[in-house]
Amino acid sequence: MIKQLFIAGFGGFIGTALRFLVSRYFHLNLPTDFPWGTFVINILGSFLIGLFYGLSEKEDFMSPDLRLFLTVGICGGFTTFSTFSNESLTLLQNKDFLNLSLYVGLSFFLGIAAVYVGRQLVKAA
């Protein structure tokens, strides 16, 4: 149990650092009210978790510890549902219903689609 805690925690550290860098990049390069950084992070994270779970379903391709590191650790630290929720509330409070609808709708549907595509890519390989 302690070993798995450290594996997930180390992956989470890496995922969080990557989330900070990606979010900062978008914040500095796309000055807009739409939260592009979190949006891209959540879609990319959904795609990656689909790839990782797809790979883990292949015979002997990935150990349980590596799957834990990549999915719970890196993807868990990288994706930002709590930030997504806060940004959605901010858009709602600002009565920015167009961006709120786009953000929530696209994040949900593209997130599911990204997981599916990631898993299908692995199955096709």
Q: How many domains does the chain have?
A: 1
- At 30, give phi and psi (nearest 5°): -130, 80
Q: What is the pLDDT of residue 48?
A: 93
Structural domain boundaries enclosing 81: 2-124
Q: Which two tokens stand for residue 30?
A: 């796309």
Q: What is the pLDDT of residue 94?
A: 96
Name which of 95, 104, 112 is nearest 47 in CA terms: 112
Quick one: average pLDDT of 27-35?
A: 90
Name which of 100, 81, 73 is nearest 43 in CA terms: 81
Per residue in 34-43, pLDDT (tens digit) is 999 999 999 9
What is the DSSP-derived secondary structure letter of residue 73?
I
